[in-house]
Amino acid sequence: MLNAYVLGAVDLPKVDQDLINRRAKVMGPAYRLFYQRPLHLVRGEDVWLYGADGTKYLDVYNNVASVGHSHPHVVHAIADQAGRLCTHTRYLTAEPIDFAERLVASFPSEIGHVMFTNSGSEANDLALRLAFDATGGTGVIISSNAYHGTTHLIAGLSPSLGAGVPAYKNTWYVAPPIDGDGLAFGERITSALKEMQAKGVKPAALLIDSIFTSDGVAAEPAGFLATAFNVMHKAKALVIADEVQPGFGRTGSGMWCFARHGVVPDMVTMGKPMGNGYPIAALALRPEVIANFGMKARYFNTFAGNSVAIAAANAVFDVIENQDLIANSKKVGSAMAEALRQTMGFGVVRAAGLMVAVDIVNQNGAADPERATRLVNQLAQHGVLISTSRKDGSALKIRPPLTFSMAHLDLFLDKLTLCLKNERNGDS
Ligand SMILES: Cc1ncc(COP(=O)(O)O)c(C=O)c1O
């Protein structure tokens, strides 16, 4: 994993080292911690995280607590509902239906149903199950450093997990449109489809993170996804927009990132920010995709769409609307991208709203993942949290809660300037 703690690589306070040892013993070897010096956190409030040692961190990275850590409106909604009733979708309760209607209304009219899940992985898994059923195909196209989640099928469609995770057998990879080649993306999808069909594999779906988060963020030119969608539809295959990262207003131009491209997916998956940390995720879809499946199979998922999860998601919607967070994402995100390009002089900044990536290069202009990791860890030492992206980890990934203000931006830029100065002086 990029930007991960290496066991034993740094001296840590005894209390943290003990926790790490106990964690490894009881939770096993597959978990990772962020940063060279892991953060031991005890509290969060809005864009701030607090360490056990009293350090206050500016969170410029979390898209789960997207309306701000421990937002009082969301906390109250969760507590209130938990104190009244927490049950599942096999009983008739009004709240999931009210919320599903609210969610459906945020999509273009073609999208008519919502199905609840507990995680983005489950939503993607369900989407593919439906795509296989609706098309009779099994071929799936994804971007070459995609991340879509953890179920057996979806981990096999998440090459960013690395070579140790076996790929799903009928996967075709396309290079992400991150080097200003957005318009060629549709052509790459056409080639992948041709290859797939030449091998006798029937296409089922293009599964794509609408902002290409783990590939390095691809935002411009808006509209570049249109050809890809058309080509898939011509091949009678479906398009699944994974909005787990960019959904709920992050990209600053409406709730959903795919809309920037003037396209309507067949299915949309969402999660992370949906409950501001409370587990809730969903699949929104065109009714025709599930019409046949629904006649022969049933769907029940014990915790998915439970009363408390729905209360959390409904409260998140309230906050996005009441605090005008989509407009804030656009305003602060544009100012951030502009400052990184103009004032700070970074050569390549890819951004849409508060989803921002900055390519880090060496003096010769070559991608420099070590430098990117150094900067991320220097910033953490100065109380500012970001991370990295791209296959080689050479881009900074900057993705704060949507409540991030211009004042927070100034503070972030000051700390980044300080880290770059230290780097020049050789004190990093
Ligand atoms: C684009 C994308 N899709 C899906 C997922 C999986 O979501 P979850 O961790 O809720 O299963 C993630 C998680 O990081 C993601 O970034």
Residue 113: per-residue pLDDT = 98
Distances 407 to 338, 403, 411 between C-alpha atoms, Å = 15, 11, 6
DSSP notation for 313-354:
HHHHHHHHHHTTHHHHHHHHHHHHHHIIIIIS--S-EEEETT
pLDDT band at 338 (very low <50, low <70, confident <90, very high): very high
Q: Which of 126, 148, 276 to mutate to test the pocket of ligand 1 (most atoms within 8 A of CB)?
A: 148
pLDDT in tens, 279-314: 999 999 999 999 999 999 999 999 999 999 999 999
Structure tokens at 273: 């920010």
Calculate the CA dihedral of residues 261, 267, 268, 269 and round it to 10 degrees. Answer: -150
Cα angle for residues 388, 143, 127 (degrees, 5° grid): 110
What would the mean pLDDT of 216-236 be, rounded to a whole number?
Answer: 96
pLDDT in tens, 100-120: 999 999 999 999 999 999 999
Q: Is the entire prediction scored with pTM above 0.95?
A: yes
| Dist. CA 343–CA 410, nearest whole Å | 12
Percent of the chain with pLDDT over 70: 100
Tell me the one-letter amino acid at 74: V
What would the mean pLDDT of 399-405 be, rounded to a whole number?
Answer: 98
What would the mean pLDDT of 77-86 be, rounded to a whole number?
Answer: 98
Residue 353 has pLDDT above 70, yes or no: yes
Q: Which of 160, 208, 245 to mutate to test the pocket of ligand 1 (most atoms within 8 A of CB)?
A: 245
**Closest C-alpha residue for ligand 1 atom 16:** 245
| Dist. CA 319–CA 78, nearest whole Å | 14
**Ligand 1 touching residue 147 (CB < 6 A):** yes
Residue 91 has pLDDT above 70, yes or no: yes
Which ligand 1 atom is at minimum distance from the Cα of 119? 10
Residue 7: per-residue pLDDT = 86
| Dist. CA 248–CA 255, nearest whole Å | 5
Ligand 1 mean position, distance from CA 64 (Å): 10
**Ligand 1 touching residue 209 (CB < 6 A):** yes
Pairing relation of β-strands 171-174 and 139-143? parallel
Dihedral sign for Cα atoms in the order 381, 387, 390, 392? positive
Pairing relation of β-strands 139-143 and 267-270? unpaired
Please name which of 326, 428, 325 lies closest in space to residue 36, comparing C-alpha atoms. 428
Ligand 1 mean position, distance from CA 120 (Å): 5
Q: Which of 126, 244, 258, 397 to mutate to test the pocket of ligand 1 (most atoms within 8 A of CB)?
A: 244
Percent of the chain with pLDDT over 90: 96
What would the mean pLDDT of 58-81 be, rounded to a whole number?
Answer: 98
**Closest C-alpha residue for ligand 1 atom 13:** 149
Residue 242 · residue 351 · CB < 8 Å: no
Please name which of 411, 377, 401 lies closest in space to residue 6, comparing C-alpha atoms. 377
**Ligand 1 touching residue 148 (CB < 6 A):** yes
Residue 259 · residue 77 · CB < 8 Å: no
**Alpha helices per DSSP H over 37-157:** 72-82, 94-104, 120-135, 152-155
Please name which of 188, 263, 274 lies closest in space to residue 222, comparing C-alpha atoms. 263
What would the mean pLDDT of 51-71 be, rounded to a whole number?
Answer: 97
**Alpha helices per DSSP H over 136-171:** 152-155
Cα angle for residues 62, 43, 308 (degrees, 5° grid): 75
Residue 180 has pLDDT above 80, yes or no: no
**Ligand 1 touching residue 213 (CB < 6 A):** yes
Pairing relation of β-strands 48-51 and 41-45? antiparallel
pLDDT in tens, 126-174: 999 999 999 999 999 999 999 999 999 999 999 999 999 999 999 999 9
Residue 364: per-residue pLDDT = 96
Ligand 1 mean position, distance from CA 209 (Å): 10
**Ligand 1 touching residue 242 (CB < 6 A):** yes
Q: Which of 63, 116, 147, 161 to mutate to test the pocket of ligand 1 (most atoms within 8 A of CB)?
A: 147
Residue 8: per-residue pLDDT = 84
Calculate the CA dihedral of residues 270, 275, 280, 284 and round it to 10 degrees. Answer: -30
| Dist. CA 3–CA 35, nearest whole Å | 5
Ligand 1 mean position, distance from CA 272 (Å): 7
Calculate the CA dihedral of residues 108, 114, 118, 124 and round it to 10 degrees. Answer: -60
Burial class (CB in 10 A: 0-12, 13-18, 19+), 367: middle
**Ligand 1 touching residue 394 (CB < 6 A):** no
Residue 428: per-residue pLDDT = 55
Q: How many residues belong to the chain?
A: 428
Ligand 1 mean position, distance from CA 224 (Å): 23
Q: In what order do the strands lie in the sheet with 387-389?
A: 349-352, 355-359, 395-398, 387-389
| Dist. CA 371–CA 78, nearest whole Å | 42
Residue 234: per-residue pLDDT = 98
| Dist. CA 399–CA 257, nearest whole Å | 15
Ligand 1 mean position, distance from CA 244 (Å): 6
| Dist. CA 357–CA 350, nearest whole Å | 5
State the chain's mean pLDDT as an integer: 96
pLDDT band at 426 (very low <50, low <70, confident <90, very high): confident
**Ligand 1 touching residue 150 (CB < 6 A):** yes
